[in-house]
Structure 1
Amino acid sequence: MERALIILKPDAVQRGLIGPILTRIEQRGLKLQGLKLMQVDEALARRHYAEHEGKGFFGSLVDYITSAPVVVAVVGGKTGTVEMVRAMVGATNPAKAAPGTIRGDFGVEIGRNLIHASDSPESGERETAIFFQPAELITDWPRVSDPWIYE
């Protein structure tokens, strides 16, 4: 199994897009393993975005992700989950995101691009550990639709 962390950023929450975005993820066949509404504090934001520290946009990134509540989710599936999620999310710049992607359908500006998604299986595991304790995840629950999704 492979996991991806997804963050519905403050703009997605404020615009009432939690349901439509999570619906797309579930309809694709990905299984939710963890889900919570939370307020990200500065320390957590800095830890999550540590790879960008020192870059010109780091401060505004931290300020933005801490500005309002977010929804954090872990989704799992067979190998290829991260790639599938990234394809659903679309290009970082919504102006360049394909129609049918989350950012292509709902986004307008790069600084308000609605959603974060892990960019590799390794970052999926690292990011999941930042936002979720093991007891907060349900990783192996039976879903009656699984035989209709996976061979």
Structure 2
Amino acid sequence: MAIERTFVAIKPDGVRRGLIGEIIKRFEQRGLKIVGLKMVWIDEKLASDHYFEHKNKIFFDRLKEYLTKGPVVAMVIEGADAISVVRKIVGPTSGDVAPPGTIRGDFGHMGVKHADEKGRLYFNLIHASDKKENAEREIKLWFSPEELHTYKRVDEEEVM
């Protein structure tokens, strides 16, 4: 069990639907802690830098438009096996296959297939780093070292 940090962003649709508190609550209930948190209205450059791996894909411009149309809540979450635990809490990318009890399963209202059929970009509420290398890159992209904080939760002695 390794103590890790991971990056999470509540996307504009999650913010606009008033899900910030519910989403943070789910991470904290699992014993994870928020060590960095801010609301930002990102620009096209940050959206491009964050999703650089999709640069040559047909949906890239619509993805950038989606991410820049409203505020995003960016977080750094720390805890035991944080990357995999956060991914389990978030659920699979498509809300139509995400199981109940996951963020996307409980709050997603559209699947990737439906969005594709309608020619729409898929809104999936939240981004979570998928592996250690991406978590490190995304944390550095979104946060300065001064914006990350070290502290102990009262229950931390029991799990760490």
Using the size of structure 1 for normalisation, the TM-score is 0.95
| Structure 1 letter corresponding to 2:138 | E
Paired position in structure 2 for 1:58: 60
Q: Over aligned residue pairs, what C-alpha RMSD do you find?
A: 1.0
Aligned to 1:143: 153
Identity of aligned residues (%): 49
Partner of 1:85: 86
In the alignment, what sits opposite 2:116? none
Amino acid at match of 1:143: R
Distance 1:28 1:147 in 2: 15
Could you tell me which of 121, 128, 149 is aligned with 1:117?
Answer: 128
Equivalent positions of 1:1-151 (< 5 A) are 1-78=3-80, 80-109=81-110, 110=112, 111-138=122-149, 140-148=150-158, 150=159
CA drift of 1:57 comes to 1.2
The separation in 1 between residues aligned to 2:25 and 2:82, in whole angstroms, is 16
Separation (CA, whole Å) in 2 of partners of 1:142 and 1:93: 34
Corresponding residue SS for 1:22: helix
Whole-angstrom CA distance in 1 between matches of 2:156 and 2:143 = 24
Deviation at 1:147, TM superposition (A): 2.0
How does the TM-score come out when normalised to structure 2? 0.89
Amino acid in structure 2 at the alignment position of 1:141? Y
* Partner secondary structure for residue 61 of structure 2: helix
